[in-house]
Structure 1
Amino acid sequence: MLTLALILGIGGSGLCYLSHPNQNLLRCGLPRSCRLLAGLLLLGGLLCWCWQLGISAGLFAWLVTIMLSWVIPPYLGWLLGARQAAPDSPNR
């Protein structure tokens, strides 16, 4: 059940990130309708965390999952963008 909660939380926050216009992983972001699915996945993840760990610990685990899922993608986009731009740079 904890694995399901983790998958739902990461999937929901990933969809939410990728449907935002300022994301930098995809050339064209996902449609705004994906935000509804992201919200449902996040809610399902919250329910799984709370059912398994209790309300306070479940809420904390859910927030940590979302926080880490939203912190990592911008750095991945920056890293991938820097690697793609490196062969074209004249200073190499």
Structure 2
Amino acid sequence: MENKINVVVINPKDNVGVALREIKAGEPLVGVEGKELTAKEDIRQNHKVALAEIPAGGRIIKYGESIGAASRAIEPGRWVHTHNLKSEDR
């Protein structure tokens, strides 16, 4: 059975992708060009998933722009949300 795309990367600069559907821990993240990634935990539909290692304090990039900073280190395949992302005032 062929895997269907379950993650979209909006901008090539992004270090997070967006789940197109609910993704279960252990599922491959399909749609991320040139990388073989696996979800490390359940990712809700329309939520962000890390595509690369993001160190604590590192910028989280979506739409090619910083949307905040990691409040702790985030491994590739981890859910990115309010528990590990600190938004910034603009």
Scaled by the length of structure 1, the TM-score of the pair is 0.22
Higher relative contact order (CA 8 A, sep 6+): 1
Scaled by the length of structure 2, the TM-score of the pair is 0.23
Q: Which has a greater percent of strand?
A: 2
Q: Which has a greater percent of helix?
A: 1
Q: Which is greater in Rg? A: 1
